[in-house]
Amino acid sequence: MRQKRILVTGGAGFLGSHLCENLLTFGYDVICLDNFFTGNKQNIYHLLDKSNFELLRHDVTLPIYLEVDEIFNLACPASPIFYQLDPIQTTKVNVLGAINMLGLAKRVKAKILQASTSEVYGDPEEHPQKETYWGRVNPIGPRSCYDEAKRFGEAAVGTNKGIDRFTKNMLFDEKIGGTIHMAIGMSIPETGGKNESAVHWDMLADMSDGGEIYADGELIYENAEFII
């Protein structure tokens, strides 16, 4: 039986590296993804010789295509010392990074854990904060690049299936529940593909009104829902 393949973004950070190490002890195949903005290679150096560990240098603000069963999205500089160095990048990591990981999870039907923070409450007026509390955040304060971007990350996770209109931006529209994203272009030689076209087409189909997908003659997807 195949072991689960688990992706840990921000896997070379303090929490991420310990999570990778712990998952490996259970025998899982672990993919550690990090751009090393704040992550440190020394944190995962002792894991590099393990056969079920793979290290990828990649920025989550850019899409990535992997086959995984679970995703732990931890990628983000968490200290004000680091996230205030480049506020735009901090915002992009928490916004585009969350969207890209949700898109990956949707494509491969993987479970995803989105790491959030108490900073989404800003300067709270109640302690401890309940889940019903919306917070008190300054959108232009010194921590806003982190606070507000993390809030967006929670919104993306919470409303991903509720998006009901197209923006004509594929990066966002492919996240709409009940759609199928098809990319046609140059094939990947390693998979045996022969298409050498230099033109790449992205197509998005709304499957919610009578859409059907068959595999080996069997209906597996109908009206935006898997039926197997």
**Which residues are identified as catalytic?**
146
CA-wise closest residue to 162 among 151, 172, 177: 177
Place of tokens 């894991």: 47
